[in-house]
Amino acid sequence: NSQQSPIRFDLVLTPSLLVLHPSALPILFQEELLNKEATEGEAVTLHCKLSKSAQVEWRKGNKVLKPSDKYKIEQEGPFAELTIRDLELADA
């Protein structure tokens, strides 16, 4: 008889292959920056929250902002904050 029986395949998953390492996951914004209105001469604080802790780099256009009398930069875990002091129209 030339009848063939179906071939059966079993898929075996090794548990270690199913583990997702947190460092391999992309970093996403859980809370994105919101537009804020402020008055010239005052200060404004911008906040964001990431999906995991990672170093945040604040920029205005191509310029990387660094801590100074003008900019206060704080980060704790996934929470990042930028305060811009003595606001000017150019800070928009």
User: Do the domain assignments include residue 74?
Assistant: yes
Q: Where are the beta strands (DSSP E) in the chain?
A: 29-31, 44-50, 59-60, 63-64, 71-76, 79-84
Q: What is the pTM of this model?
A: 0.69
Encoding tokens for residue 70? Answer: 């003008």
Structural domain boundaries, residue 62: 9-84
Helix, coil or strand: residue 28: coil
pLDDT digits (tens, 9 = 90+) for 2-36: 565 554 545 444 444 555 555 667 888 787 778 88
User: Do the domain assignments include residue 53?
Assistant: yes
User: Do the domain assignments include residue 2?
Assistant: no
Please, which pLDDT band fits residue 91 given cuts at 50, 70 and 90?
confident
pLDDT digits (tens, 9 = 90+) for 50-77: 888 888 889 888 889 999 999 999 999 9
User: Do the domain assignments include residue 31?
Assistant: yes
Domain CATH number, residue 20: 2.60.40.10
Residue 61: what pLDDT?
Answer: 86
